[in-house]
Every structure is written in C-alpha cells, then in structure tokens.
C-alpha cells in the first residue's frame, strides 16, 4: 500500500514474527518496497494521467450556431477530440447559440471572460476590421478551402490573422480550422440568366460579401439566421444565401424558394474559428496548448470528410424532393470577380492590414493554384466518363 506521496509506509506492512526480526524483516521490507515501486512505475508509464489524479480543467464555450446545424456538430467534434487527447484532463462544454449570449456576441463575451471560449467564423467580426472578412469571403484568387488553410498554416496567414486581431484590439487565442465547401449563390423564386436579373433584388448576405453584391446592383440585407426563411416567406426578401445544402435544408429554405443556384465567388472558403479567452489560455499547461492545436488540425480533416458525406446526401435528397438546382451563369460569376476588384481596391486604400492580407493571399495563390491546376486532371471529364 502507499501513503499520500505514493511511498510504502512501514506501518502498512504485515508484522514479522519474533524469530525473523533480526534478519528477515529488513529483507522483506526491501522486497515489498521494490515490488510495489515497480508496479507503481508500470502503472504510471501506461496511464500517466491516472497516477496524478488531477481534477479536470473544465471550460465553458458557446458556438454561434443553433444545435441543429452541422457547424455546431463539428464544434462539438473538436471538444471531444480535445478531451480524448488530454486523457480527460481538459473538458469543454460547447453550448449552442443563445444559451449564454446571442450568437454574434461570443467574441466579446470571450474577451470579457463571460465565456472561456467560442466557435464561429472570422467573417462575423467584419465590423471590427474589414480584414476579418478576407478569412472567409473575397475572391480567394482561385483557392479552394484546403488551399486557404494551407496559406494560414504555411503562407503567413496565421501571423497576419494575429495582426488583424491586434489592429481590431481583439485579444483571444484563435485556431482556424475546418475547410468549408463554396457557398451557393443562394435561393431565388425567379430564374437568374444574366447579371441584370440580380439588380434591385432584396438579398440577404453577410460580411464582406455585402459590398460585392452591392456592386452588382442588389439591395443587400443583413439579418439573423432565424429570421431569413420567414422573411423570404413573407416577401420581405426576394432571395437569400446562407451556408450549405445541409444547413439550408434544416432551416427550411426548400419550403419558401424554388431555385437553388450553385457556384458563387462570394464565399469560396469560410473556415471556422476556435477562440479562447487569453488569460484562460495562458494558464493552461504547455502540453495542453499543443494538443489544442493538434485537435484543430484533426477536426479540420474530420470536418472535410463529414461535409462531403452529409452535404452531398442533402443536396441529392433536395433534388429528389423537387428543388430545382441551377448553375450560376458564367456572366454572373465574371461580374462577381469584377465587383471584387472594386471592393479590394476600396478597402486596401482604407486599411493597411487589409492590403497586406490581400497581397499575401495573392502570392500564395499565384504559386499554389497554378501548380494545382497544372497537375490536376479534369474531374468532371472523369465523372462524366463513368456516370454521365
């Protein structure tokens, strides 16, 4: 047996007979001590956190999403990975939007210590600094979501993100994760065949994309997710975009709109963000800080796979249920790129860190997207060969 320090105590050993007192007792004490110490060492080697019996660190997070959304689900996936990787030493409760504060107030609540952390997307903080919008909206210069996260990790994007935060006086520890497929152009009740069909439409969008759609002559409206479908149903909105086939279906868009237009340059990439209160993060053990980063990388891969599985299912099922899927006309896509040129020029002139993020993204995309296009054969050609 062991005392509180994990050592063998003499008064815990069996009594020796009087005949053994002079020689056998010291020898038996030595053997008992050696055996117990060896067993304890084996236990510690196999289960390092059981021996320490530490009280788990418990943190309270909130996401910006309702609990029915796939993005809240993947936020919970990250918390499970953290708990598994830390052997239960760190346990994070991920609450859904509104349980403590409204969804779009989680960043301020995290900085103020009302929450220990949160899950959202960088574009939500566009109002604090326009450069946040480039981590999820913007032309992206041909990058897909994995290439954008590659820029974050290896092209200087992570360091620039910290500069954007400093410029906006946002003091949290952030991890960008989760490649998200390109968002559809949106839901419409009339066909879109040319750019002029967009002019004057009351259209819900968010973040930096507001400026781009305004350039196309649309009358943009920003509103909370829960209000979008009712506004479409009442005719307050003519059209709207939100997220993906999975979340759009959950929200009820198929019940209020006829056409679902795919392909758009308004949000080609929209990575998620884990943010942690700075003091809370600094107080964590160094090995747990490393685990938080590795868990974000693992969650990114898992989210990528889960998205392709779930979103493809929901897309096809909506088609089978009568939603008319359309591809955005090339003329509209080209007009979007020209509109982005004007938006980039305006904000780069007004915001120095915005301009530096743009130049960094362009340098990465010029090399990486070029290489990707050079080496990747036409996927649609192969698909049509087998299934077309």
Mean pLDDT, consecutive 10-residue stretches, the chain (388 aa), reads 39 36 41 46 44 81 94 95 98 97 96 98 94 90 95 98 98 95 96 98 94 97 88 97 94 97 94 97 98 97 96 97 98 98 97 98 98 97 96
Is 204 annotated as contributing to ligand binding?
A: yes
Is 175 annotated as contributing to ligand binding?
A: no
CA distance 33 to 10: 10
CA distance 126 to 139: 16
Give the other-Cβ count within 10 Å of 327's Cβ: 11
pLDDT computed for residue 106 by the predictor: 98
Q: Which CATH superfamily is domain 55-180+270-300 in?
A: Bacterial extracellular solute-binding protein, family 7 (3.40.190.170)
pLDDT computed for residue 53 by the predictor: 57
* CATH code of the domain occupying 186-269+309-352: 3.40.190.10
Residue pair 283/116 in contact by the 8 Å Cβ criterion: no
Is 242 annotated as contributing to ligand binding?
A: yes
CA distance 35 to 377: 64
pLDDT computed for residue 136 by the predictor: 84
pTM metric for this prediction: 0.84
pLDDT computed for residue 11 by the predictor: 36
Strands (E), the chain: 57-63, 90-95, 117-120, 172-177, 186-188, 202-204, 219-221, 239-240, 259-262, 272-277, 324-327
């Amino acid at each position: 047996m062991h005392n509180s320090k994990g050592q063998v105590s003499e008064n815990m050993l069996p009594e020796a007979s009087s005949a053994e007192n002079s020689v056998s007792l010291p020898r038996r004490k030595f053997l008992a001590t050696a055996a117990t110490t060896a067993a304890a060492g084996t236990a510690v080697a196999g289960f390092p956190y059981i021996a320490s019996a530490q009280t788990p660190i418990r943190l309270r997070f909130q996401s910006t999403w309702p609990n029915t959304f796939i993005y809240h689900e993947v936020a919970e996936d990250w918390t499970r990975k953290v708990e598994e990787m830390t052997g239960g030493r760190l346990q994070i409760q991920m609450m859904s939007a509104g349980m403590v504060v409204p969804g779009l107030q989680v960043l301020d609540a995290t900085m103020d210590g009302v929450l220990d952390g949160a899950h959202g997307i960088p574009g939500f903080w566009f109002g604090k600094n326009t450069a946040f919008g480039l981590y999820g909206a913007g032309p992206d210069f041909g990058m897909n979501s994995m290439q954008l996260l590659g820029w974050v990790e290896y092209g200087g994007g992570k360091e620039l993100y910290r500069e954007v935060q400093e410029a906006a006086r946002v003091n949290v520890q952030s991890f960008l994760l989760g490649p998200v497929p390109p968002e559809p152009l949106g839901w419409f009740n009339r066909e879109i065949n040319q750019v002029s069909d967009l002019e004057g439409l009351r259209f819900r969008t968010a973040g930096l994309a507001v400026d781009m759609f305004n350039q196309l002559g649309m009358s943009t409206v920003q509103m909370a997710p829960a209000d979008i479908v009712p506004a479409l149903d009442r005719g307050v909105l003519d059209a709207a975009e939100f997220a993906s086939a999975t979340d759009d279906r959950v929200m009820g868009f198929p019940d209020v709109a006829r056409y679902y237009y795919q392909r758009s340059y308004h949000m080609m990439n929209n990575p998620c963000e884990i943010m942690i209160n700075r003091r809370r993060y600094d107080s964590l053990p160094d090995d747990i800080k490393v685990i938080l980063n590795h868990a974000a990388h693992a969650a990114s891969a898992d989210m990528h796979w889960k998205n392709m599985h779930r979103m493809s299912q929901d897309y096809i099922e909506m088609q089978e249920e009568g939603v008319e899927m359309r591809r955005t006309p090339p003329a509209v896509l080209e007009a979007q790129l020209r509109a982005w040129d004007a938006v980039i020029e305006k904000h780069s002139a007004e915001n120095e860190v915005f301009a530096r993020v743009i130049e960094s993204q362009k340098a990465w995309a010029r090399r990486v997207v070029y290489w990707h296009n050079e080496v990747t054969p036409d996927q649609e050609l192969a698909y049509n060969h087998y299934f077309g």
